[in-house]
């Protein structure tokens, strides 16, 4: 079995906004989060998870959470250059879900095919009004999608598992590494979603943003049972990390 390495490429740091990652609790108050693209190093194919985003391309945080904002850490080109790549080198982009901060830069990858769940793409093209601000169709209306349904191996040592709840077709990415299965979550969360304070008496806290909180809870338990290494999609801890594991 191949033993791949995941290279976090942080692009945006969001600060000054109330923590909306943890459902019905806000024990962390205001704290940092980050937006990444993730390079899977090892296979002959050049594979990214999510496209990354620009701080200037996000819906202005003051409209949603007054006092909040985003800071550009580096451009996509700068981040990819650190792992010896250019956007046009990318063969595959696995889209965890189609919220704006995960697919905004899709047009940067002219040669890539984009792996997406059927349920996610259908919802993204016709979102319910309650979610319309998170699906910006002009960022993906001409993207080269490969549509799948359910769990699937993408390349040797890299597969996706369906983990809905945060969105209809969220998919988490399982990567075989030298230290076991690493799972990049298909839903927006931080480390504290998986490691809540003991006094709460719960094993996990679902994402604060979701369409189905019970599905989201079950998807988190699925990831927790599956993974040797959990990579929460928005935790700022990976800003300073060069590789996983």
Which helix (H) or strand (E) is 228 found in, with range?
none
- CA–CA distance, 230 with 138 (Å, rounded to integer): 32
pLDDT of res. 25: 84
Domains of the chain by start residue, with CATH: 5-240 (3.60.15.10)
CA-CA-CA-CA torsion sign (191, 194, 195, 199): positive
Per-residue pLDDT of the chain (245 residues; tens, 9 = 90+): 789 999 999 999 987 555 678 888 876 666 788 999 999 999 999 999 999 999 887 765 545 544 456 889 999 999 999 999 999 999 999 999 999 999 999 999 999 999 999 999 999 999 999 888 789 888 898 999 999 999 999 999 999 999 999 999 999 999 999 999 999 999 999 999 999 989 989 999 999 989 999 999 999 999 999 999 999 999 999 999 999 99
Residue with tokens 């019970």: 214
pLDDT of res. 164: 98
- CA–CA distance, 138 with 136 (Å, rounded to integer): 6
Angle at 73 between CA 16 and CA 91, to 5 degrees: 125
pLDDT of res. 69: 61
Residue 5 CA, chain-centre distance (Å), reads 17
pLDDT of res. 157: 97
The first and second tokens of residue 1, run together, are: 């079995």
Alpha-carbon Rg for the chain in angstroms: 17
pLDDT of res. 15: 72
Q: In a 3-state reduction of DSSP, which class is residue 218?
A: helix
């Amino acid at each position: 079995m191949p033993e791949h390495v995941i290279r976090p490429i942080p692009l945006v740091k969001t600060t000054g906004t109330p923590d909306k990652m943890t459902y019905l609790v806000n024990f962390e108050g205001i704290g940092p989060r980050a937006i990444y693209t993730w390079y899977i190093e090892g296979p002959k194919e050049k594979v990214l998870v999510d496209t990354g985003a620009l701080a200037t391309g996000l819906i202005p945080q003051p409209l949603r959470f007054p006092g909040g904002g985003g800071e550009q850490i580096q451009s996509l080109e700068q981040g990819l250059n650190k792992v010896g790549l250019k956007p046009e080198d990318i063969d595959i982009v696995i889209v965890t879900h189609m919220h704006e901060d995960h697919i905004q830069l899709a047009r940067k990858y002219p040669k890539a095919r984009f792996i997406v769940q059927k349920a996610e793409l259908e919802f993204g093209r016709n979102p319910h009004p309650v979610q319309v601000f998170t699906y910006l169709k002009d960022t993906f209306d001409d993207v080269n999608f490969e549509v799948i349904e359910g769990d699937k191996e993408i390349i040797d040592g890299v597969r996706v598992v369906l983990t809905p709840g945060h969105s209809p077709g969220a998919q988490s990415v399982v990567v075989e590494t030298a230290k076991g299965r690493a799972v990049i979550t298909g839903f927006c969360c931080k480390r504290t979603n998986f490691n809540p304070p003991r006094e709460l008496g719960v094993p996990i806290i679902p994402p604060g943003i979701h369409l189905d909180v019970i599905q989201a809870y079950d998807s988190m338990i699925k990831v927790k049972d599956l993974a040797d290494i959990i990579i929460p999609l928005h935790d700022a801890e990976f800003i300073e990390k060069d590789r996983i594991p």
